[in-house]
Amino acid sequence: MGASGHCTVYDFDKAGDDDSEYSLTPAKATAVVRHNYEGRYGWQRADIDDLAAPSGRELRFCVNVHMDWKADKYFLGGCGGSTLDIGFWYKGFEEGFLLPAELPRLKRGGPSSLAMEAGVAWKIALIDSYDLLVRFCTASPAITTGGCGEGPDWGAPMTMAGTYHADGYPGRDLALTWMHLHDKERIDLAVSSPIDVLRARVEASPRGSSVWIIDEERLAREQVLAALDLPPKVLLEALEAAQEKLHPTWEAMQWELSRLIDEIGRSSADERDMIPVTEEHIRFIEEHTPAYVRRLDNGALVLMAHPDRTLWPLWSDALSLLGIRP
């Protein structure tokens, strides 16, 4: 629920084009959801218009859940959430708010450069996307695997911005990426499969085969299998070591950026201007910003980058540290 404690859900038994129930309390929303989800239709969607994000923004967040038979029939993931208003049955498309269109800048006294401005925009989107992914995935122990991507469908995890693993083992990112890119398979229904099942799918591929990831870089079948053969602790420690490998430009500015973000957080609205996020800011984010590995208190693991980035640089560096990639 958002700050108001209300949400909008969809009542499929209502006649007419407008089948939403607006501004419902938790008790009323629960009654509508249970009837449609458990009783008849096997899926449900809800909209939260004022979800409070840690950056201080209010986001619109749409959530949906599908029973297994529904997911299997229509190739849909079990649970999903989005800051994009895609409209009922995808009738419309409206840009969401996860990536800020504006960023705060101090009117006086603070550093001002394209790199620092991009760093502020990076921070806003990163902390909000991380918070949403963790909140959503830890909402129920039934959610064992999660990801942050560009659309409602699962892509290759290594080309997504974030993944969640309830068992603390990130190796399925490798296997699922292989299945999606090599076998051209939708992996929505495979993401929570046992790792030995996923490994067998990789092993069944022809020897010497490889897949293109991004920027002309390829990942070989034998590299995936070598990583999956490692003890989980070794693979995780390599990822944690890889997150320390920063782009020199970012490494040189990160402490100054932290001070700037703290100063902006302490300033009043009168002491700040709002300026637009430009293509130049986005390009800087895409080329310089890092990814992170986070172990949660519940034993889960999150790999996270900015939504304009991917996890591939993190994985590539980790596999290189392990001697699996040149």
The per-residue pLDDT for range 201-229, each reduced to its tens digit, is 999 999 999 999 988 899 999 999 999 99
Residue 195 CA: distances (Å) to CA of 213, 226, 228, 256: 21, 14, 9, 42
Mean per-residue pLDDT for 181-190? Answer: 88
User: Which residues, 6 or more positions from 177, have their beta carbon under 8 angstroms from its beta carbon?
Assistant: 156, 157, 158, 159, 211, 213, 219, 224
Residue 200: which residues within 8 A CB-CB, separation 6 or more? Answer: none
pLDDT at 5: 83
Tokens coding 326: 């040149």
Of residues 263 and 111, more confidently modeled: 263
- Between 17-31, 160-174, 251-265, the lowest mean confidence (pLDDT) is in 17-31
For 42, other C-beta atoms within 10 Å of its C-beta total 17
Residue 132 in contact with residue 81, Cβ under 8 Å?
Answer: yes
The per-residue pLDDT for range 290-306, each reduced to its tens digit, is 999 999 999 999 999 99
Query: Regarding predicted confidence, which is higher, 29 or 304?
Result: 304
Per-residue pLDDT band at 79 (split at 50, 70, 90): confident
How many CA atoms, within 13 angstroms, populate the side-chain half-sphere of residue 42?
11
Return left, alpha or beta for 87; rule: phi > 0 is left, psi -120 to 50 is alpha, else beta: left
Look at residue 209 in the predicted model and tell me its pLDDT. 97
Distance (Å, rounded) from C-alpha 245 to C-alpha 313? 10
> What's the confidence (pLDDT) of residue 72?
65
Closest CA to 61 of 76, 77, 75, 79: 79
Would you place residue 261 in the very low, low, confident or very high pLDDT band (cuts 50, 70, 90)? very high
Calculate the alpha carbon distances from 112 to 233, 266, 288, 290 in Å.
Answer: 42, 17, 18, 21
40 versus 207: which is more confidently predicted?
A: 207
Computed over every residue of the chain, the mean pLDDT equals 87
Tokens 């705060």 identify what position? 104
201-231 in b/e burial notation, b at 16+ Cβ within 10 A?
A: bbeebeeeebbebeeeeebbbebbbbbbeee
pLDDT tens digits, residue range 90-145? 333 344 568 888 999 998 866 679 999 999 999 999 999 999 999 999 988 989 99
**pLDDT recorded at residue 97:** 67
Q: Token pair of 18, please?
A: 């407008």
Whether pLDDT at 76 is above 80 = no
**Other residues' Cβ atoms within 10 Å of the Cβ of residue 312:** 22
Secondary structure letter of residue 185 according to DSSP: -
> Which residue do the tokens 């999606």 mark?
180
Report whether pLDDT(86) > 50.
Answer: no
pLDDT reported for residue 41: 74
Question: In this model, does residue 192 exceed pLDDT 80?
Answer: yes
Rounded CA-CA distance 108/160 in Å is 37
What burial class does residue 170 get, using C-beta atoms within 10 Å of its C-beta: 0-12 exposed, 13-18 middle, 19+ buried?
A: buried
Q: Which token pair is 241?
A: 């070591």
